[in-house]
Amino acid sequence: MKIFLLEDDYSLNKIIKLSLENRGFFVENCADGYEAASKIINNKYDLYILDLNVPGFDGHEILKTIRKDNPNTPVIMISAEIDIENIKNSFDYGCNDYIKKPFDFEELFLRIKYHLNHVLQNNDVNLNIDLGYEYSYDLINQTLYKHGHEIELTIKEKLLLSLLVKNINKTVTLEMIHEYVWDSKEMESVSMRTIVHKLRSKLKNGMVLNLRGVGYKLLQIS
């Protein structure tokens, strides 16, 4: 799962990023509203964490920008602001949660997990998917299992497999992979083929179809 983090406190930004990456998430982070606006326009994320008071566009402006194109993607506001008007405005502009600083990182993770669970269930997406051949995938924790034993995945393998699982039995285009796994950044085709090859080596042969020139498809074997 991809999380976007906007936090201008360098130390807190780094700690949150590392904490979530240790949980298996991919985290795109920045420290000011101008950079944030550019990134959210050009990329898609599964959840946003926004500090309210940051240089450039503040958290409310970024929240409003997100809501123009992503009405259902979870947004968690974090702030030292305890003024009820700021909290009210955050919810009026469309945030899903508001956490006051300082906070416990375990609380942040639990809220992230709750909101990701909620949005996936609302979209009728199973959270624990039986892929067949004794393989299963936990979407929230981004964990692949075979016979109940975890198979280690890299961050990019997790992103790719999560994208394939959320579109199981459907074609995932090369453009979708480029946008989700590489954040629309410059990417050589050999890089994509390498990641796909490594992921396929951890699954049973034939589960991931190569639709040449179009994309890939993960087959759910009953």
83 shares a domain with 13: yes
Look at residue 139 and tell me whether its pLDDT is greater than 80. yes
Closest C-alpha to 81, from 60, 64, 66, 67: 60
Domain's final residue, options 106, 122, 138:
122
208 shares a domain with 115: no
69 shares a domain with 134: no
- Which range, 3-7, 17-21, 158-162, is most confident? 3-7
64 shares a domain with 37: yes
Angle subtended at Cα 87 by Cα 12 and Cα 60, rounded to the nearest 5 degrees: 70
Q: For residues 135-145, give the mean pLDDT.
A: 90
Classify each residue of 30-41 as buried b or exposed e, where b means 16 or more C-beta atoms within 10 Å of its C-beta: bbebebbbebbe
Domain's final residue, options 122, 151, 175:
122
- The token duo for 182 is 């590489």
Instruction: Give the domain extent around 167.
Output: 128-218
- Digit-coded pLDDT (tens) for 163-199: 999 899 999 999 899 888 886 566 666 688 899 999 9
- The DSSP call for residue 194 is H
Residue 100: Cβ within 10 Å count: 12
184 shares a domain with 74: no
Look at residue 125 and tell me whether its pLDDT is greater than 80. no
Burial of 188 (0-12, 13-18, 19+ CB in 10 A): exposed
Q: Report the CATH number that the domain containing residue 104 is assigned in CATH.
A: 3.40.50.2300
Q: How far apart are CA 143 and CA 162, in angstroms?
A: 9
- The token duo for 92 is 């009026």
Least confidently predicted of 83-87, 103-107, 181-185, 199-203: 181-185
Give the pLDDT of residue 124: 59
Q: Report the CATH number that the domain containing residue 168 is assigned in CATH.
A: 1.10.10.10
Domain tally, the chain: 2
- State the amino acid at position 126 in one-letter form: N
- The token duo for 180 is 């989700």
| HSE value, Cβ hemisphere, 13 Å, CA-based, for 186 | 0
109 shares a domain with 14: yes
213 shares a domain with 146: yes
60 shares a domain with 12: yes
Closest C-alpha to 26, from 218, 180, 197: 180
Percent of the chain residues topping a pLDDT of 70: 94
Give the pLDDT of residue 56: 94
pTM of the model: 0.75
Give the pLDDT of residue 170: 94
Cβ contact 116:128 at 8 Å? no
Domain's final residue, options 122, 156, 178:
122
